[in-house]
Amino acid sequence: MDKKTQSKVKIIEKTFEAIKKDDKGLANISLLRVAEELSMPYEELTSFFLTIEDIYLNEQKRNNRKVEKYLDSGLSEVKTANDAKSLFENTIRLFVMDLPDYADVVWAATPFLPKCLEERNKMKVYLKKTFKKIIKKGWPGKIETVLERQTDLCILSFYGLYEYCSKSKKKDREAILEDFINMLNLHLQDRLFF
């Protein structure tokens, strides 16, 4: 990891650590305070981030780009229904198991920060398009209305899992993750009615 990346990571981690420790959370945290806690010149910190919202957005985009890269790469290699199912399941595993310890802080504020809400909406559009392709390949034979409905329910479930796991301890995430994947598999096996 280069020095620039190390500095960004320190800023991100210190910001979320400060938000978690403070009784007032996000409302009481400023970039100046983060710079002071890091013993970093304010000008250096603002060369990376101009607002606390930018830090949230950076973390959200980092997670989203990792999932997008994994999905795009995986989709190009999918040849069979089992390949598609594995890609779908492993994408969910990657997303949940990669959540940082401060995921709860990220989750709690992103729906209220305009840039983060916009990023989440973009990601939902991407997931809808991509999940639909994966579901169509992995669980073939669905009529279009069922495919649309199941894709929407998978995205809704995906974000529900994210919220739940962001509030859970890392060691507890794996069990709920596997139950979730089993539930989605059962849901997606229904070709006509659900």
Say how far apart CA 55 and CA 65 lie, in whole Å.
15
pLDDT tens for each residue of the chain, 194 residues long: 788 889 999 999 999 998 888 777 777 889 999 999 999 999 999 999 999 999 999 999 998 999 999 999 999 999 999 999 999 999 999 988 888 888 888 888 888 899 999 999 999 999 999 999 999 999 998 889 999 999 999 999 999 998 999 888 888 888 899 999 999 988 898 766 54
Say how far apart CA 121 and CA 134 lie, in whole Å.
20
Structure-derived torsion over alpha carbons of residues 104, 128, 65, 50, reported in degrees to the nearest 10:
-60
pTM value > 0.75: yes
